[in-house]
């Protein structure tokens, strides 16, 4: 099971890029369009994150893009 670093799009599209900690962050994930959105591990995952899809996305691309339906929590 991977631990992922999350990078959230600064646009109102809700797009999130999940990158396993042992992988490099994709070159398209740059400020000001993306910001660090925290880390997930175990069962702690935002709404919209699919672990099976994440494993496949990482296998082929090195990262997993998904749309988050969870509102940002204060301080996160």
Q: Is residue 75 part of a domain?
A: no
Total count of domains within the chain: 1
pLDDT in tens, 1-51: 679 999 999 998 889 999 999 999 999 999 999 999 999 987 788 888 999
Query: What's the whole-model pTM score?
Result: 0.84
Domain boundaries, position 20 = 4-67
Q: Is residue 40 part of a domain?
A: yes
> Quick one: which of 5, 17, 3 has its CA closest to 48?
17
Q: Is residue 72 part of a domain?
A: no
CATH number at residue 44: 3.10.510
Cβ atoms < 10 Å from Cβ of 8: 20
Q: Is residue 48 part of a domain?
A: yes
CA 43 – CA 11 distance, rounded (Å): 27
Question: Three-state DSSP class for 28?
Answer: coil
């Amino acid at each position: 099971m991977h631990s992922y670093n999350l990078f959230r799009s600064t646009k109102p599209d809700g797009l999130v890029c999940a990158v396993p900690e042992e992988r490099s962050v994709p070159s398209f994930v740059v400020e000001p369009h993306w910001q660090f959105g925290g880390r997930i591990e175990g069962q702690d995952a935002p709404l919209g994150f699919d672990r099976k899809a994440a494993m496949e996305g990482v296998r082929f691309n090195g990262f997993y893009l998904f749309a988050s339906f969870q509102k940002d929590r204060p301080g996160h």
